[in-house]
Amino acid sequence: MNQKRVFLKNAVFMTLGSVVLRFSGLWFRSCICSWIGASGVGVYQLIFSIFSLGITACTSGIGLAVTRMVAEGKGSRRYLRGCLCFALAMSFAAGAVLLAVSDFAACRLIGAPEAAAPLRLLAPGLPFIAVCACLKGYFFANRNIIVPMVGELWEQVATIGISYLLLTRTSLPELESLMIGNTLGEVAACAYVAAAFLLYVRRHGFAQEDGTKTRVLHNILHIAGPMLVGSFLRSSLFSAENLLIPAGLRKYGAGGTAALAQYGVMQGMVMPVIYFPMSFVSSVAMLLIPEIAEAAARGKRGTVRYSAEHAFRTTLMFGFLISTGMIVFADEIGRIFFGNEQAGNILRIMAPIVPLMYLDNVVDNMLKGLDQQMYSLKYNFSDSMMRVALISALIPVYGIRAYLAILFFSEIYNASLSISRLLKVTELKVDILGWIVFPAVSGALLYYVLILLKKAVSFFI
């Protein structure tokens, strides 16, 4: 009972923190749009598409490795030191590569020479990101989500505050100001989490060695290795995908600035709005990883099935209701946050796939807790390969409409494979009425209620 109470407390706190993070991020994104315009947002997104390769190299799998090992009783000083050394080595290597290829990436891949300096300014933040990933994994395994969440909030505050000061009080180019703010925000977050970790282990200590001469690196690579390789390949494909989109739009007939603007609207405006409500479910999904890992390790298959069934039911209900709200208020969201009508139109088109996107995110986290990350990575990799091929072939012919169709097809493909694997592993039977029909009907009823309310408000105004 006490463990359940701790889980619920952590879920509430993490959800509230995630909402604040996503909302402040969405607000900051709207400010960025007003500062650098839609085409500038396109360049900004492409810079982070390349930088994400460095983040993947030094964090992918390492946080999960720490969480899994600590949850399984392997949270000794030796194991944690090994994880930190592994993450730092990867971060220094990734930072060196990013510095070396910044000019080439800016000129040849992004098509904007002014992006070289921002890429170089992001590289020093990678070691701090790597350390944070390890320490956050340790806190998650110990059911302490307050420190990681406060760390992320502090990072957001520092990033926004420093970026704003640089943009308004200095003559630095906008993109360089934003990247300096991002890097210093990572430093601030790492300093806080590291200080909290030192205080935590001074009070609680490390786990005792199990007495066996297990190889630390072998255990790390068993968990983090497949995720690192798979995630890096997928991240590479994702970056290639993002770079191919504006290139394809230019071939379709859009000018260079117009192509970057269309890409900026899609990736810099619409997708953050879609992902914002996901904070309500992704935080709980993250907390499910150690819970499911522990239950599976102890052979509590009933607990695993109950957790999976509850996740399906609540996530789909939430997804259908959010999808309905996006359909009804798409124009208002695009106008209020970004002053862009196209953003509202694209948001309305994308809204029907929202329930499946949210469920896919939750299912991926549950698969990680069940030591099924290899299957998840295989599905994600094949999905990314397919998307790159379709983007290369279709966007130059059909433009942005092709990209929207590809997103729909890709999400259905990926989610179907992940859901099938989870159902097989947990031996859970599909409840069509409770999982799909009831949430869909609830969404439809909400649609008519919101339409009536919207008409009533417009009539009185």
Residue 7: pLDDT band with limits 50, 70, 90: low
343-354 pLDDT, tens digit each? 889 899 999 999
- Rounded mean pLDDT, 133-161: 86
Mean pLDDT of 164-173: 90
pLDDT digits (tens, 9 = 90+) for 175-202: 999 999 999 999 999 999 999 999 988 8
pLDDT at residue 8 in the model: 63
pTM of structure? 0.73
Tell me the C-alpha distance between 281 and 254, whole Å. Answer: 38
pLDDT at 136 over 80: yes
Choose the weakest-confidence range: 174-183, 234-243, 275-284, 287-296. Answer: 287-296
Express each pLDDT in 213-223 by its tens digit.
557 677 777 77
pLDDT band at 378 (very low <50, low <70, confident <90, very high): confident
Confidence tier at 235 by pLDDT (50, 70, 90): confident
Predicted local distance difference test score (pLDDT) of residue 10: 65
Q: Is the per-residue pLDDT at 289 higher than 50?
A: yes
- 288-316: average pLDDT: 78
Q: Inform me whether the pLDDT recorded for 1 exceeds 50.
A: no
The more confident residue out of 13 and 49 is: 49
